[in-house]
């Protein structure tokens, strides 16, 4: 498993494409980290999160079951 991160894009109300994370800097809210076997799997997870996130405020992601 590898660790990826994605940056929240306020203008588009969605996360950017996942990027491999090397632990050299902190990830701060509302950006996220996720574990996946490959970049393709990470992209699929981000797309699934983005689809669920439509119309939901990023502060409600956890309570609404998006993450």
Q: How many CB atoms lie within 10 A of CB 4?
A: 21
46 closest CA partner among 31, 26, 57? 31
List phi, psi (to 5°) of 49.
-65, -45
- Distance, in Å, from the CA atom of 39 to the CA atom of 19, rounded to the nearest integer, reads 8
Render each residue's pLDDT in the chain as its tens digit; 67 residues: 899 999 888 777 888 999 999 888 888 888 888 899 999 999 998 998 888 777 666 666 666 566 6
How do the domains of the chain map onto residue ranges? 2-60
The separation between the first and the last C-alpha atoms of the chain, rounded to the nearest angstrom, is 18
**Where are the alpha helices (H) located in 1-67, listed in sequence order?**
39-53
């Amino acid at each position: 498993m590898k660790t990826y991160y994605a940056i929240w894009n306020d203008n588009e109300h969605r996360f950017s494409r996942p990027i491999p994370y090397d632990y050299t800097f902190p990830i701060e809210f509302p950006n996220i980290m996720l574990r996946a076997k490959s970049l393709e799997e990470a992209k699929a997870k981000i797309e699934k999160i983005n689809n669920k996130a439509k119309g939901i405020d990023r502060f409600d992601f956890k309570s609404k079951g998006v993450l």
